[in-house]
Structure 1
Amino acid sequence: MANPISAILVVIVTIFIPPLGVFLIAGCGADLLINICLTCLGYFPGHIHAFYLEYQYFHRRDQARLGTIVQKRAPGVYSENIQSGGQTSYGTVQA
């Protein structure tokens, strides 16, 4: 893990305000809207969703930094930033 401080800060923010933690890793999109709705329905569903997204993001980021390409999309994740682990890809790579 390259920078554990950023992961710890995102987790601390998520403990208090789950949608803000999702916004920090996913941006403004479907995942944020889903998390806001879940948090309004109950505080714990919002936490579960936010921590799931954060786990996927940091896991995929670490895999990308190790050079491993995760082929399978994470279920229930709509943000390409989370799917790619924050790695920007320019163009398509043919295997």
Structure 2
Amino acid sequence: MATPTTSTGASNKLLLAIIAIFLPPLAVALKEGLTGTFWLNLVLTLIFFIPGIIHALLVVL
């Protein structure tokens, strides 16, 4: 049986992964804050959506 912290950690990763697919900059901001990683993801998302999703998933997972 998994401990509650492990279950919560897995739930957070799953939720962040789902957010990363639909709103990549939000997922990166929730994980990293408003750092350079967020701004890079925002630019990637604005240029073309798919690179933003890939970058967000790499950051989140």
The TM-score, its normalising length taken from structure 2, stands at 0.83
2:42 alignment partner in structure 1? 36
Aligned equivalents of 2:48, 2:36: Cα separation in 1: 18
The structure richer in helix per residue is 2
2:24 alignment partner in structure 1? 18
Higher relative contact order (CA 8 A, sep 6+): 2
Structure 1: gaps of 5 or more residues? 56-95
The TM-score, its normalising length taken from structure 1, stands at 0.55
Q: 4+ residue stretches of structure 1 with deviation over 2 A? A: none
1:27 alignment partner in structure 2? 33
Secondary structure of 2:34 counterpart:
coil
Matched, 1:47 2:53: yes
Report percent identity of matched pairs.
Answer: 33
Aligned pairs for 1:1-95 within 5 A: 2=6, 3-55=9-61
Secondary structure of 1:47 counterpart:
helix
* Alignment RMSD: 1.3
